[in-house]
Chains A and B, each alone.
Chain A
Amino acid sequence: MLPAKRITIGDMFVLIFSLLLFVFLAIRPLAAADGNYCILTVGDTKQVCSLTENRTIPVENGGYSLRVEICDGTAAIIASDCPDQVCVHTGRISKTGQAAACVPAGVILHITGDTGDEEDFRVG
């Protein structure tokens, strides 16, 4: 029982739906406002940092060492000894909802408009 041998209307529906989903997911962060805080999640601990105060934060978790930099209203994971370096390649983030994550180290850096009520401690 093989599927249809030519492109069908069902295929077109799947392709158009996937394209629309991509456009929606891609446009949403661009429309977001600049954030005021970044939330650094290391394992189960959350740390809220103001984006107005420049600093570098060393992070150690899961056997990996990272360096998070907050500079001129943006945040980034600038160094990591994880194998794939995805977190470093994410670059600088500044808009609400944007995030950089290091999955091997269990570290997530994401931008918010306010501090919310999820912080364990606040820096700056």
Chain B
Amino acid sequence: MWDKDRFIRQVLYCAMYTSLALMLSFVEAILPLTAAIPLPGFKLGLANLAIMDSAFRMGMPAAIAVSLGRIILMGILFGNITSFLFSLCGGITVLLLLAVCRRFSGAFSFVGISVLCAMGHSAGQLFCAVCIMGNGAALVTTYAPFLAAASLIFGAVNGFLLLGIAPRLPKI
């Protein structure tokens, strides 16, 4: 049955999660990470915290809204068409993996899910690079090891962060 109050609450939480994801993406964008680690697409993945939490608290439709909202707003505010396509490919892969993880939610904690999503995000971005530039073997050979290492490390760090934060957040 249609519950207007519940719907409004869900929309409000979606907006809050999108704002949080956008803010975390902005923090990542202004950090001079590329100077320290010169890899295209290299990010801490902090926005994934908001997307993962929204997926498990509010369901996949909310996570899709939050993720796409963040990607579109980041593209309009701070990016260009290339960065938008890279984000979109990574974001879609993460959403697919989150949908699978939700079906087996007891089998993984946020640590495993976060590492899996980080790996998926990197794979999605590599796929996008291969589609845009061609020469897939050369790109994969060059960047995949670095992206895999970054995904493993920062995915695990983000996972442990969310593992600590999630139980303290109020129930939606």
Given A10-B108, A14-B108, does the pair A22, B129 have CB atoms closer than 8 Å? no
With A5-B109, A19-B152, A26-B145 in contact, do A110 and B115 touch (Cβ < 8 Å)? no
Contact A98 B104 (CB under 8 A): no
Q: A10-B112, A11-B111, A29-B141 are in contact. Are A101 and B133 (CB under 8 A)?
A: yes
Shortest Cβ distance from A8 into chain B, in angstroms?
A: 6
Contact of B56 among A2, A21, A85, A106 (CB under 8 A): A2
A14-B112, A103-B40 are contacts. A2–B141 as well, Cβ < 8 Å?
no
Residues 51-99 of A at the B interface (beta carbon under 8 Å): 84-86, 89-90, 97-99
CA distance A100 to B138 in the complex (A): 8
Q: Is A4 an interface residue (CB 8 A)?
A: yes
Contact residues in A for B145 (Cβ distance below 8 Å): 22, 25-26, 29
B139-A108 in contact (CB<8A):
yes
The interface size of chain B toward A, counting residues with CB under 8 Å, comes to 44
| Assembled-state Cα–Cα distance A84/B34 (Å) | 7
Does A15 reach chain B (CB closer than 8 Å)?
yes
| B113 CB → nearest A CB, Å | 6
A8-B109, A99-B139 known; A15 and B129 CB under 8 Å? no
Interface SS majority for chain B: helix
Chain A, interface residues (CB within 8 Å), range? 35 or more
Say whether B112 contacts A8, CB under 8 Å: yes
Say yes or no: is B12 at the interface (Cβ < 8 Å to chain A). Answer: no
Please tell me which one of the listed residues A86, A108, A110 contacts residue B38 in the complex, with CB atoms under 8 A apart: A86
Other-chain residue from A8, A10, A85, A110 in contact with B135 (beta carbon distance below 8 A): A110
Interface centre among B109, B115, B132 (most CB of A within 10 A): B109
Pick from B116, B132, B163: contact of A14, CB below 8 A: B116
Interface residues in B108-142 (C-beta closer than 8 Å to A): 108-113, 115-116, 119, 129, 132-135, 137-139, 141-142
Contacts of A84 in B (CB 8 A): 34, 38, 40
Q: CB < 8 Å: which of B39, B104, B111 contacts A86?
A: B39
Q: A22-B148, A103-B82, A110-B138 are in contact. Are A86 and B112 (CB under 8 A)?
A: no
> What are 5 sample pairs from A and B whose C-beta atoms fall under 8 A apart?
A3-B101, A11-B108, A14-B108, A25-B148, A101-B143
Give 9 closest A-B pairs by Cβ, nearest first. A11-B112, A99-B138, A110-B138, A89-B38, A10-B107, A26-B145, A22-B148, A14-B112, A25-B145
